Structure 1
């Protein structure tokens, strides 16, 4: 999983928990990263319709959707980062050795298979589900 995806999920869960408009500075303190990085991720979430933005000195971000309807798959697609990213390709397609010429293609198949499995799993996890894991029945007590 990428850092961008982790920031996005963390921000949405925190915004849902707080039920408030929060600045990138407030979010970054809870996420433990810098506000510029948070703003970059929040812009992606805004473009995907996952957060509302209130401009101005007292502005910030607000999660106004039903948390039980927002899956981690939707968040993953919003930040355009696959769970298992493409990386370095080994070998050479024109090499006479079958290992050297075929390994990159085999590894792409493995990566695609892993991403398909991840997407399926991410489609069953919601912001509300993570909230429940974190807070259980005592959610109201922690606000």
Structure 2
């Protein structure tokens, strides 16, 4: 196998017009050209509004989104009864709720929602609505 010699020329300014002709005359073959520039400035990070919340009308704070809270409560209902996420997705879809993208709920979509449910669970469990739902779930009178 023939040995190949490689040379990389670092340049601070563009090459002279005859630069490539000189290299070819010396027996070099052009194999690559590498370009670089400064990275584009990175804009401010964009974060999604946490599930169950929405931007308030004053655009200064977040407030509860009633539909998304219902999705979290329905999901929690099925989970506390040891039901699978497929059952939760079915219950949520039957009530007409959709994801933020307008899609039907699926077990993987609900799986990705579990960290948020864990985060807001303590607050949801103390809500009056959950106390009433729990009575029906466990036949508490």
Please, what TM-score do these two structures have when normalized by structure 1? 0.32
Computing the radius of gyration from Cα coordinates, the structure with the larger value is: 2
Please, what TM-score do these two structures have when normalized by structure 2? 0.32
